[in-house]
Amino acid sequence: MGMRILGIDPALRTTGYGVIQIDSGQFRLVDAGVIRSNANLPFEQRLLEIHSGVAELLAEHRPDSFAIEDLYSHYQRPTTAVQMGHARGVIYLASAQAGLYVNAYAATQIKKMLTGNGHASKGQIQMAVKLQLGLRDLLEPADVSDAVAIALTHYHSTLQNALLK
């Protein structure tokens, strides 16, 4: 029996997502893309667009696990951090409504897991995702490859934890 994981790279404008399926150690990309919120809409409507998009993905793909990038923001931009917190909140709400626990991973942990370097570039992450999934092309935009990287990190972390028990 396989495992299906939804990875989310949260953002207010362009939230990346990636759904991977793992069967007998073989990875397959099921779906990937972005959920866009209209910057011209009021903030609460943008949050509704993000929530609705994630809820649709959860209903359509019925993942076994849900993983998201942990919140990171520079202290010089507290407003951005608060707004991202709201976006993450509606994503967490969609997950709770679907009965899934949210697994959060720091950006440095994701980069280290996929490339061995906690400070890898976006291009290095895109290449690592391409190689692990056996894709012909890089996933674009980077938000999409980041979301798939989050899903892959969850799988590898789960596997490592199982081996350590």
pLDDT reported for residue 75: 60
91 pLDDT exceeds 70? Answer: yes
pLDDT, residue 105, reads: 96
Which of 128, 125, 133 has its CA nearest to residue 29? 133
- To the nearest whole percent, how much of the chain has pLDDT over 90? 82
For the chain, the C-alpha Rg in angstroms (whole number) is 15
Structure tokens that stand for 46 in this block: 């943008």
CATH number at residue 138: 3.30.420.10
pLDDT for 74 equals 60
Domain hosting 39: range is: 3-164
Task: Provide the phi-psi class of 35: left if phi over 0, else alpha when psi is between -120 and 50, else beta.
Answer: beta
Report whether pLDDT(73) > 80. no
Q: Which two tokens stand for residue 163?
A: 């081996």
Rounded-to-integer distance, Cα 46 and Cα 25, Å: 38
pLDDT at 136: 96
Cis peptide bond prior to 141, omega within 30° of 0: yes
Residue 81: per-residue pLDDT: 80
What's the pLDDT at 82?
A: 85
Domain count, the chain: 1
Q: What integer pLDDT is reported at residue 71 of this predicted model? A: 78
Residue 3 amino acid letter: M
pLDDT of residue 7: 98
113 DSSP 8-state letter: H
Please identify every residue annotated as catalytic.
Answer: 9, 69, 143
* Global model pTM greater than 0.75: yes
Kindly report, residue by residue over 127-158, the tens digit of the pLDDT: 999 999 999 999 999 999 999 999 999 999 98
Mean per-residue pLDDT, 21-29: 93
pLDDT at 84 exceeding the cut of 90: no
Q: Kindly indicate the confidence band of residue 163, based on its pLDDT and cuts at 50, 70 and 90.
A: low
